[in-house]
Amino acid sequence: MSKEVIVITGTSRGLGFALAELYLKQGATVIGVARNKPSIESDEYFHQSKSITDDDFPLALEAFLRKLRIQKIEILINNAGVEDTGVHLSKLDPSQVLNLIDIHCVGALRTIKGAHAFLDKTKIVNVTSRLGSIIQTKRGDFSGRSFSYGYRIAKCAQNMLSLCLDGDTELGNNIILSINPGLLLTNLGASDANFTAWEGAKAVMQVVKDADCSGIYHAFGDEALY
């Protein structure tokens, strides 16, 4: 494959689906990962129906990439994610918090580990959220709002993952990007969401294109903090 290769998790709906479609329209080869295959009609879309929470996912992803004869991944986007309903301690299910950490943080780590052999000057994107920011939480940006423990803790853990990856000498020639896609009208969207998944995808793609160093970014140019 000589085209630009993009790997995206969570392509079955929302932001991931929009990213896959838009990159395909740009002429890229897209490898999508999700338990359910999306309705994407393209000879350049290749889907792995697998959960990023499976212990064997890194090996399965590597094998899938080798089967497709991938030489190099230009962009890897960890987008897969779910929400939680435990906004108060009395209703909190600790096992669900662990599940969200597994998906948002460890799942992203499994994906990167599975793609490790194909990373070379790759832009590795972890789709983050304002809710994972310790700084914004500490200064009271979300006071009085009902956001779940699990999602906030998981996104915070993912932010630390991004910083760990950026400090890993084995990944020294790659760029690690934490990108807040904005307030999107998706299944994970907050009550103040105001952008469609397609608008968010276009904005994320522009940030990825323009970024020349690791860091945390907001797709629409707003404040983004760890």
pLDDT in tens, 177-202: 999 999 987 665 555 667 899 999 99
Supply 224's token pair: 């983004």
Specify burial of residue 143 (Cβ count, 10 A radius: 0-12, 13-18, 19+).
exposed
Q: Which CATH topology does 5-218 take?
A: Rossmann fold (3.40.50)
Which residue did the predictor score with more confidence, 83 or 138?
A: 138
Whole-model pTM?
Answer: 0.94
- Between CA 32 and CA 11 the distance in angstroms is 6
Supply 160's token pair: 């630390």
Supply 210's token pair: 């323009």
With vertex at residue 42, the alpha carbon angle to CA 39 and CA 47, rounded to the nearest 5 degrees, is 65
Q: What pLDDT is stored for residue 108 in this prediction?
A: 99
Supply 20's token pair: 């896959």
Average pLDDT, the chain: 95
Q: What pLDDT is stored for residue 184 in this prediction?
A: 87
Residue 119: strand pairing partners: 73
Query: How many beta carbons lie within 10 A of that of residue 121, not counting itself?
Result: 10
| pLDDT at position 115 over 90 | yes
- Do the beta carbons of residue 118 and residue 69 sit within 8 Å? no
- Do the beta carbons of residue 24 and residue 16 sit within 8 Å? no
